[in-house]
Amino acid sequence: MKIDINTKILGLIGYPLGHSISPLLHNYSLEKLDLNYVYLAFALEPDSIQKGLEGLTALNFRGINVTIPHKNRVIPYLDELDPLAQKIGAVNTIVNDNNKLQGYNTDAAGFKRMLEDDGNFIISGKKAAVIGAGGASRAVGVVLCHSGISELYVINRTYDKARKLVRTWQQFYENIKIEAVPMEIAEYQPLIKKMDLIVDTTPVGMSPETDVEPVIAAHTLHAGQLVVDLVYNPPETTLMKAARSQGAQTLNGLDMLLYQGIEAFKLWTGQEPDVDDWRELASANIQENAINETHN
Ligand code: NAP
């Protein structure tokens, strides 16, 4: 990789930083496409966000990915916020456009592209259940509403968290039926049967604790449904196995991770990395680093 006085900075901020495949993927494509940028990783302490962003801006960085715990904390320091990122309440990509910091959420775009391109799933008019009410659930729920889902149910272990999330979305999307559902089989079983799409946004089944009961009972799933687990290590979780045995279509979250990165790369450079290159690099690298993966 050529580094000279014109090289622009890209990177990732988070704290603490677990293993991340982003430097590998981005630097690979920057070099392949002959783009004069370098992608670095910065462990930025939560108390230093403002200083960190000011420092990067002074150094004329072009863009950064933002990961836990900074995804919502960076928002007050941005000049512009993409409307979808605003509804999600989280930013995972910042673009520095002539010292104006713009915030985006490419997790949402990555999830949508995965459903459409890999799952051949048309969101508009469909019914979906999202399991979990954390950070990933916010991006998934908002992009589903934004793309015309007709009914959306949030099933979460802590019911109050689901209710809170649902109340926020109901304000934005008045014409969509959005409800919180307790994580008890008697409550969710009749509902799951009617769903076109089920998305597990919990870490249940993630390496190294792979041999666990799926987060929802397998017999509630059936053919004709798309079941997505945002976990991608292992490539097939117990939920995906259960869904496949019931005849449902399944996807893991690897392509969401890749597509969110591709979307960020496009925002920064205007060019698009080859997703097959990234899939190959990521698959090899994730297996070697089974735990502590950062989703950027
Ligand atoms: P988070 O903010 O901590 O939220 C986790 C959610 O999972 C919470 O709603 C939590 O319920 C629920 N949960 C945790 N353990 C559970 C259990 N044993 N049984 C039932 N529910 C449980 O985490 P996050 O950032 O949303 O990430 C969630 C998962 O998505 C992680 O596995 C992460 O690896 C994955 N992810 C993937 C991508 C991708 O690109 N593929 C991107 C982001 C995240 P409570 O509210 O009751 O605590």
Question: For residue 235, with 0-12 CB atoms within 10 Å meaning exposed, 13-18 middle and 19 or more buried, which class applies?
Answer: middle
In the structure, what pLDDT confidence band is assigned to residue 188 with cuts at 50, 70 and 90? very high
Non-local CB neighbours of 90 within 8 Å, separated by 6+ positions = 71, 72, 75, 105, 107, 135, 138, 139
Cα of 201 vs centre of ligand 1, distance in Å, is: 5
Q: Does the pLDDT at position 295 exceed 90?
A: no
Pocket test for ligand 1, best of 201, 215, 233, 291 (most atoms within 8 A of CB): 201
Residues with CB under 6 A from ligand 1: 107, 132-137, 156-158, 161, 201-204, 206, 215, 230-232, 253, 256-257, 260, 295
Closest CA to 20 of 89, 85, 66: 66
Of all protein residues, the one whose alpha carbon is nearest to atom 7 of ligand 1 is: 202
Cα of 134 vs centre of ligand 1, distance in Å, is: 6
Of all protein residues, the one whose alpha carbon is nearest to atom 28 of ligand 1 is: 202
Q: Does the pLDDT at position 289 exceed 60?
A: no
**Closest ligand 1 atom to Cα of 256:** 40
- Is 71 a catalytic site residue? yes
Closest CA to 94 of 110, 80, 113: 80
Q: Does the pLDDT at position 100 exceed 70?
A: yes
**Closest ligand 1 atom to Cα of 161:** 46
In the structure, what pLDDT confidence band is assigned to residue 203 with cuts at 50, 70 and 90? very high
Q: How far apart are CA 19 and CA 264, in angstroms?
A: 19
Of all protein residues, the one whose alpha carbon is nearest to atom 18 of ligand 1 is: 204
Cα of 127 vs centre of ligand 1, distance in Å, is: 21
**Closest ligand 1 atom to Cα of 137:** 26
- pLDDT, residue 69, reads 94
Cα of 116 vs centre of ligand 1, distance in Å, is: 22
CA-CA distances (angstroms) from residue 144 to 116, 193, 227, 269? 12, 19, 14, 27
Coil/strand/helix, residue 190: helix
**Closest ligand 1 atom to Cα of 252:** 41
Considering 71, 87, 112, 126, which one is annotated as catalytic? 71
Q: How far apart are CA 103 and CA 85, in angstroms?
A: 7
The residue ranges of DSSP E strands in the chain, in sequence order, are 8-14, 37-43, 63-66, 80-81, 93-97, 100-104, 127-131, 151-156, 177-182, 197-200, 226-229, 249-251
- pLDDT, residue 107, reads 97
In the structure, what pLDDT confidence band is assigned to residue 19 with cuts at 50, 70 and 90? confident
The mean pLDDT value for 38-63 works out to 96
The mean pLDDT value for 253-277 works out to 97
Q: Which helix (H) or strand (E) holds 244?
A: helix 238-245
CA-CA-CA-CA torsion for 52, 58, 60, 62, nearest 10 degrees?
30
Q: How far is CA 96 from the centre of its chain?
A: 21
- pLDDT, residue 290, reads 52
Kindly state the percentage of the chain with pLDDT values over 90. 92
Coil/strand/helix, residue 130: strand
Of all protein residues, the one whose alpha carbon is nearest to atom 43 of ligand 1 is: 136
**Closest ligand 1 atom to Cα of 111:** 40
Q: Does the pLDDT at position 292 exceed 60?
A: no
